[in-house]
């Protein structure tokens, strides 16, 4: 039997760490899950050295490997450039890919500063290339359900927001320095606070004004794992912030990487005049919806299922559960569709810039100990 | 058989609303639960009119009734004056009882302002009378367990705090005005935020500095239930605040009476370098303790039982659960013991004043939009 | 002010252990919570010796004490005889009280055998006295809600039942012998399995047929606490049973007092064609109701509140929670009302007999390894 | 850069429904996740017609397609035959693949009867081919952790078991007939009860004796979706069974496909003298472990993470969660390793036969209403 050939889209991936592997596997899996206009082909993998790149390309199924990302982003076999390199390299890599007219898929944070992120955004918009940033938690069908419930007035007028991203990976005073503690883009607020800020914007729109309070819990950390030498920490371990949204809604967020006991508490509670919604990524296949009145009011635990697209792409029955890596598959599916249609793929560079701008406003507020305006117009 | 006579202590109760009934029933129950130095005797119940007082006295088992609380607090049959009257009357009632040398048991908030609370505190200290304020949630054996774990270094050095008291009783824009919306001591922060502030102090000590943000979600409310006439609201429906404790720990709280979906979310999470503790009053018989490492780390759900005194006074077996009214029985037991020993009964008037001072600092900060110092010394 | 005198009803209590104290405290508290036709007066407490009785009477607020329960049940000051004595004494005590024309309130199990329970039931019915048996878990407002939902077709036609009463108080091989391991009425099935059987009947009606399997996990136990001498155990530690209800519904129950990890897992799940209900006594203030369809189906956590009578008698606001002892107060309130009206107070002696008959059928089945019929008529 | 070529293993898949897709995607993903001795290559996909096969091969990435599975299983490009065809075809397909000396990977149930499964098992053992059956829930790292805790005496001597597989996909009387209601291998017990039986054996070893009770809740169902014509149902909608394990442990299971409210309640509680373990597939990334004593006893919620292999293959950080499809990837990784090493891949055909034999014993017991012996030797 003849097997029908599908159009293909060539992938060039930079980086093969946690996120690089995650990208590669998502590109490999997506065609079997979604019915896409083009099948991704893993063309070239770039990494710091030829050896690292070749080993990773072999493990992850790429046809070619290179240490020369500049050449790679211009290669004709590459249609989409996926950037999973250290944060400080996002800007030059993305600018080069944009200049080559490629679709650019960049891991979060978009860059180390909002001004750099804005520069990237403007370049992409000027060149009219498709962009996407890896805020994969937004791809969860249950987040889609939450957003739909909020926008459809299911819970009435929104009255409050309480958000958090708390993990424990820096909860030990002996967790060492790394790129995460680099003053250029590091700290709990930038590293994971960006997730709850992107989620807050996704659900409730722009943040107008912020007031933050940051604390460096551990004044110094080992310079490397198991090193006796310690160096001062200049970034935050924990930031709490008050928020006023452009819509008038008030709330707060917490970003905390020293939250002993929490592995992935990207969570929120949104209250409205008619109901409420609660969620935590630690139970990513469940959304809690408060509704009812009289003797039958309460939080309802909605389990992910085919009624919540695109869950059904993964499994025809409810209760089977999606995993973290599946969110990346959804992200990549939307990216490939946007690439094929030359359409929009939210969150794009501009959205990622807005998230970063909000985070920087919180940092600025934490230093000045004053409220800081993020945007003045209602959106 | 001769039944041994026990010493008695006479109770004079002012007020027979929700809290007044709660006091009366606790005084009635406590001798059967605890082995007290003296049995409470329900002597006199005072209320707004003779008729109301007489009906309440009959229903609640008091020997006498009166509308003259001034006379009552001086009556020889009264040893402990319990004040469950409107907040604005707490000060004159308490001052009169103090002047009469009586032990004073006052519902929270101690008064409508911190300065009034301080006046009451100084009077009580000058007269050397025993005082107690009805922050009954602190009496929960699971809160005692949490406090003990924190002070015993069970969870290591404390690194963060996140607290909340959220309920939904004002979540409808048609919930009417009442004493709760009275600018003298009203608003979500004063009404229920005081619970999470008292709990925060109970667990982590004094708060040094605060930064609050308040919102009046519904600009007006009916002047009374089912009234078409509406009047502007001047108190907060919701307040979020950043906290810095005197110990250096940072955190945040939320007070919210418009939190659709929450009936009693007096909750907190305290993180430390070795573990963490989480609690919500909605499951008041459970404390979550995070501990462990490697493949066996996680939050452990500890159920209330005889291992958590004074639970065993109510039931010899775990899993049977205490209820809200039982917390009041524990409170009254501690009061009677303090009265008999002329000892301390925390939280006393001074502690209640400190809570109120912290709340007012948050209000002040919400108005000035600046950080406000609560105390300068480490405690 | 004159305090209105209410009619009174005299209580004679036999026994002052866990359940005796529980009865006494409930009789003491009930008048302040409920608006009863008569106020209980704690008249006489009987126990094994005069000394024990006098000490208990003093602690629990009874006017008189005695070691002569035969005299007590005939005393004119006693209207209701409350039996909280060892199970083997229930029959003679109840028969004497019935003969004296008193209302009889007996702890569960009604007696040590179904035939004894039937004898007591027939005596009570012949004498036309009010009876009540202490299956207090049935008094929970959330159980009332569950029952109402089932009978009102809220969850459709009932399709299945899964019940359990599991605790851990005998989970150690060194938990000693006691009245619980006495072959006369002992064993996990009789001791706590009776609760889930009474609940099953309360919700779904009579059980037609049973098939049980019992296991004595620990072949011997210490003769007393910390004794080195061990004696063989002849009762079950754990029984699983298949059930067929007279209605045609099938299901299963488990009774287990060696269930490490469970403190009070009196739990069930009832499924219907339109919904389902789940409950565990470990979270006695919550009922889970499954409802909905499409993207909004799920279990809803309903919290106890004033919408679930008689919760509002204890507290005017939801979320405050009832405790175990409150269930006994509700039981006593219904008893006093039934006594005053000479009405029915379910579960009465006959209902308790039916529960015991069902348990004995399971025991019989476990021995014969065959199905055993409990009742033939449809109810 | 030269990309290192890895050895490959050719896959021939029969069937492209839910499970066929699941197999194909797992074979596609596994090389990027695991470091395997050989990379699976999707060679040939067989289905009922050439057209169906070609479309599926295109969608799922197979090189060739065919309607002739007899030819396919003999093709040199095929090393592993994966059978995801209707249950009635498992036997001839597996026998043909075995005859061709191929490794055989068959979906559960192995066949429609235990005797057929035994025939397949004996053929595979005689031909010495590697076999594996798709009980993918056993691949969950948390199930691995549970098994290790049980075998390592972490929870002491095992004292009880309570298991269940409940879903709601047949909970409506209008859910139509399908292969699931076919008397040859259909019914709730065979369809999903096999999962809880395989899990019970995986954790606690062989089942010695069973006593089952089955009920057909809905006497008839539509012959097809939305058909007005109804036909009698002869299989069980729900089966409860008592179990006695060869080890002496007692317990029960329930298989129920009409369990309104349950989407994937493959759950169990195993109690021991020192602790207990509880799990439900509805929260497949969590294992509950009861441990502790005194004031710190309770169920600990252990979240899946790198400490639970092979979770770390999917993600280096805890809390990110695996999904259902990841379990299939783990299954396929173990299959490829067993194929390369010509080793064992549990659960193999023999284990699947034992599960089926146990299920048939329950069916037999449900008909005879007597206990039925499954095995006599201790294992």
Nearest CA distance, D272 vs chain A (angstrom): 27
Domain range annotation of chain B: 2-136, 141-283+285-316
Kindly tell me if the per-residue pLDDT of B130 is higher than 70. yes
pLDDT: is C4 or D35 the higher one?
D35
pLDDT at A377: 58
The DSSP output letter for A76 is T
Q: Do D160 and C256 touch (CB under 8 A)?
A: yes
Kindly tell me if the per-residue pLDDT of D379 is higher than 60. no
Contact B106, B134 (CB under 8 A): yes
What is the b/e burial string over C113-143, where b = at least 16 CB atoms within 10 angstroms of the residue's CB?
bbebbbbbbebbeebebbbbbbbbbbbbbbb
Q: Do A319 and D281 touch (CB under 8 A)?
A: yes
What are the tens digits of pLDDT across the range D250-266? 999 999 999 999 999 99
Instruction: Give the architecture (CATH level 2) of A141-283+285-316.
Output: 2-Layer Sandwich (3.30)
Upstream peptide bond of B310 is cis (omega within 30 degrees of 0)? yes
Q: Look over chain D and give the mean of its residue pLDDT values, rounded to a whole number.
A: 96
Angle CA C140–C145–C147, to nearest 5? 95
pLDDT at D349: 98
CA-based end-to-end distance of chain D: 55
> Which of left, alpha, beta for D292 (phi over 0: left; psi -120 to 50: alpha)?
left
Q: Which residues of C touch B43 (CB under 8 A)?
A: none
pLDDT at A198: 98
| DSSP letter string, C174-195 | TPPP-GGG-TTT-SHIIIIIHH
Q: Look over chain C and give the mean of its residue pLDDT values, rounded to a whole number.
A: 96
Fold designation for D2-136:
Rossmann fold (3.40.50)
**How far, rounded to the nearest angstrom, does the alpha carbon of residue C173 sit from its chain's CA centroid?**
27
For residue A34, give both structure tokens.
């979604």
Say if D169 is an interface residue toward chain C (CB within 8 Å): no
Q: Do A302 and C296 touch (CB under 8 A)?
A: yes
Number of helices and strands in chain D (H, E): 11, 17
Distance (Å) of CA B178 to CA A198, B184, B218, B234: 39, 12, 15, 12
Q: Which residues of B touch C2 (CB under 8 A)?
A: 54
Helix axes A324-341, A18-33, angle to 10 degrees: 70
Mutate to test the interface with C, among B7, B323, B326 (most CBs of C within 10 A): B323
Mean pLDDT of B134-153: 97
- Distance between CA atoms of C215 and D327, rounded to whole angstroms? 36
| DSSP letter string, A233-273 | --S-SEEEEEEEETTS-EEEEEEES--TT-S-EEEEEEEES
What are the tens digits of pLDDT across the range C118-157? 999 999 999 999 999 999 999 999 999 999 999 999 999 9
Express as a percent the part of chain D with pLDDT over 90: 96
pLDDT at C1: 62
Three-class SS string for B78-142? CCEEEECCCHHHHHHHHHHHHHCCCEEEECCCCCCCHHHHHHHHHHHHHHCCCEEECCHHHHCHH
Neighbours of chain B (3+ CB pairs under 8 A): A, C, D
pLDDT at B379: 41
pLDDT truncated to tens, each residue of chain A (379 aa)? 667 778 999 999 999 999 999 999 999 999 999 999 999 999 999 999 999 999 999 999 999 999 999 999 999 999 999 999 999 999 999 999 999 999 999 999 999 999 999 999 999 999 999 999 999 999 999 999 999 999 999 999 999 999 999 999 999 999 999 999 999 889 999 999 999 999 999 999 999 999 999 999 999 999 999 999 999 999 999 999 999 999 999 999 999 999 999 999 999 999 999 999 999 999 999 999 999 999 999 999 999 999 999 999 999 999 999 999 999 999 999 999 999 999 999 999 999 999 999 999 999 999 999 999 998 755 4
Kindly tell me if the per-residue pLDDT of C319 is higher than 90. yes
Nearest CA in chain D to B305: D295
If we measure between CA atoms, which residue out of A74, A147, A138, A67 comes closest to residue A108? A138
| DSSP letter string, D140-199 | -HHHHHHHHHHHTTTT-SEEEEEEEEE--TT-STTPPP-GGG-TTT-SHIIIIIHHHHHH
**How far, rounded to the nearest angstrom, does the alpha carbon of residue A328 sit from its chain's CA centroid?**
10
Contact D135, D108 (CB under 8 A): yes
pLDDT at C377: 58
What are the tens digits of pLDDT across the range B296-326? 999 999 999 999 999 999 999 999 999 999 9
Nearest CA distance, C188 vs chain B (angstrom): 16
The DSSP output letter for D304 is P
If we measure between CA atoms, which residue out of D29, C367, B216 comes closest to residue A33? D29
Mean pLDDT of B97-120: 97
For residue C328, give both structure tokens.
């006994």
Say if A58 is an interface residue toward chain D (CB within 8 Å): yes
- Distance between CA atoms of D328 and A320, rounded to whole angstroms? 12
Kindly tell me if the per-residue pLDDT of C318 is higher than 80. yes
For residue D195, give both structure tokens.
């999962």
For residue B316, give both structure tokens.
């010899």
pLDDT at A1: 62
Interface pTM (ipTM) of the complex?
0.96
What are the tens digits of pLDDT across the range C244-279? 999 999 999 999 999 999 999 999 999 999 999 999
Nearest CA distance, C120 vs chain D (angstrom): 34
User: Which run of H or of E encompasses C202?
Assistant: helix C194-204
**Tokens 């066929």, located at residue:** D20
Distance (Å) of CA C318 to CA B172, B179, D357: 16, 20, 52
pLDDT at D2: 67
Nearest by CB to residue C260, choosing from D215, D242, D271, is D271
Q: What does pTM read for this prediction?
A: 0.96
Say if D303 is an interface residue toward chain B (CB within 8 Å): yes
Say if D62 is an interface residue toward chain A (CB within 8 Å): yes
- Distance between CA atoms of B273 and B252, rounded to whole angstroms? 19
Nearest by CB to residue C240, choosing from D155, D252, D258, is D252
Distance (Å) of CA A125 to CA A72, A75, A239, B359, D199: 22, 22, 32, 49, 55
Q: Do A303 and D263 touch (CB under 8 A)?
A: yes
Mean pLDDT of C350-363: 98
Helix axes D18-33, A18-33, angle to 10 degrees: 160
* Partner A, chain D 258-297, Cβ-Cβ below 8 Å: 262-265, 281-284
Q: Do C162 and D258 touch (CB under 8 A)?
A: no
pLDDT at D26: 98
Contact B308, B145 (CB under 8 A): yes
Q: Do D273 and C162 touch (CB under 8 A)?
A: no
Q: Which residues of C touch D370 (CB under 8 A)?
A: 369-370
If we measure between CA atoms, which residue out of B331, B374, B366 comes closest to residue B239? B366
Strand partners, B158: B272
Q: Is the dihedral of CA D370, D374, D376, D379 positive or negative?
A: negative
Q: Do B303 and C18 touch (CB under 8 A)?
A: no
Helix axes C114-127, C90-99, angle to 10 degrees: 10
pLDDT band at C379 (very low <50, low <70, confident <90, very high): very low
pLDDT at A2: 67
What are the tens digits of pLDDT across the range C282-294? 999 999 999 999 9
- Residue C55: how many CA atoms within 13 Å on its side-chain side? 7
């Amino acid at each position: 039997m003849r097997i029908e050939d599908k159009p293909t889209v060539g992938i060039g991936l930079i980086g093969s760490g946690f996120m690089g592997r995650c990208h590669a596997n998502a590109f490999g899996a997506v065609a079997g899950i979604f019915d896409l206009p083009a099948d991704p082909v893993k063309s070239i993998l770039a990494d710091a050295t030829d050896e690292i790149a070749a080993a990773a390309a072999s493990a992850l199924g790429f046809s070619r490997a290179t240490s020369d990302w500049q050449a790679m982003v211009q290669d004709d076999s590459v249609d989409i450039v996926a950037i999973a390199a250290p944060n400080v390299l996002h800007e030059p890599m993305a600018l080069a890919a944009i200049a080559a007219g490629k679709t650019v898929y960049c891991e979060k944070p978009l860059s180390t500063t909002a001004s750099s992120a804005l520069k990237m955004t403007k370049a992409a918009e000027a060149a009219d290339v498709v962009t996407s940033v890896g805020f994969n938690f937004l791809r969860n069908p249950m987040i889609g359900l939450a957003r739909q419930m909020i926008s459809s007035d299911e819970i009435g007028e929104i009255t409050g927001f309480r958000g958090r991203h708390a993990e424990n990976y820096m909860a030990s005073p002996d967790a060492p320095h790394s790129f995460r503690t680099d003053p250029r883009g590091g700290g709990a607020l930038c590293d994971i606070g960006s997730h709850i800020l992107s989620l807050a914007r996704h659900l409730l729109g722009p943040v107008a004004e912020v007031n933050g309070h940051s604390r460096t819990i551990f004044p110094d950390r080992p310079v490397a794992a198991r090193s006796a030498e310690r160096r001062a920490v200049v970034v935050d371990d924990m930031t709490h912030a008050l928020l006023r949204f452009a819509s008038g809604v008030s709330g707060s967020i917490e970003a905390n990487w020293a939250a002993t006991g929490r592995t992935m508490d990207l969570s929120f509670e949104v209250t409205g005049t008619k109901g409420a919604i609660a969620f935590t990524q630690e139970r990513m296949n469940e959304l809690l919806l408060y509704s009812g009145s009289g003797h039958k009011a309460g939080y309802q635990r909605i389990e992910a299922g085919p009624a919540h697209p695109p869950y059904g792409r993964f499994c025809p029955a409810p209760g089977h559960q999606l995993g973290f890596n599946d969110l990346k598959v959804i992200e990549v599916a939307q990216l490939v569709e946007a690439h094929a249609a030359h359409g929009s793929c939210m969150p794009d560079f501009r959205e990622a810039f807005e998230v970063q701008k909000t985070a920087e406003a919180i940092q600025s507020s934490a230093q000045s100990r004053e409220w800081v305006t993020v945007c003045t117009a209602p959106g």
